[in-house]
Amino acid sequence: MPELPEVETTVEGLRSVLEGATLTRVEPRRADLRFPIPVDLRQRLTGATVTGLSRRAKYGLIGTDRGDTLIFHLGMSGRWRIDPVEIGAHDHLLIETGAGRRLALNDPRRFGSLDLVRSETWESHGPFTRMGPEPLGPDFTPAALAQALAGKATSIKAALLDQRIVAGLGNIYVCEALNMAGIAPIRAAGKIGRPRLALLVEAIREVLSAAIVAGGSTLRDYARPDGELGYFSKQWRVYGQEGEACPCGGTVRRRVDGGRSTFYCPECQK
> CB under 8 Å to 1, separation ≥6 — which residues?
74, 75, 76, 170, 219
Classify each residue of 129-145 as buried b or exposed e, where b means 16 or more C-beta atoms within 10 Å of its C-beta.
eebbbbbbeeebebebb
Q: How far is Cα 34 from Cα 43, in angstroms, rounded to an integer?
A: 21
For residue 79, count CB atoms less than 10 angstroms from its CB and return exposed for 0-12, middle for 13-18, buried for 19 or more: buried
**Which helix (H) or strand (E) element contains residue 70?**
strand 68-73
- Alpha-carbon span 161 to 149, nearest angstrom: 12
Which residues are the active-site residues?
A: 2-3, 58, 260
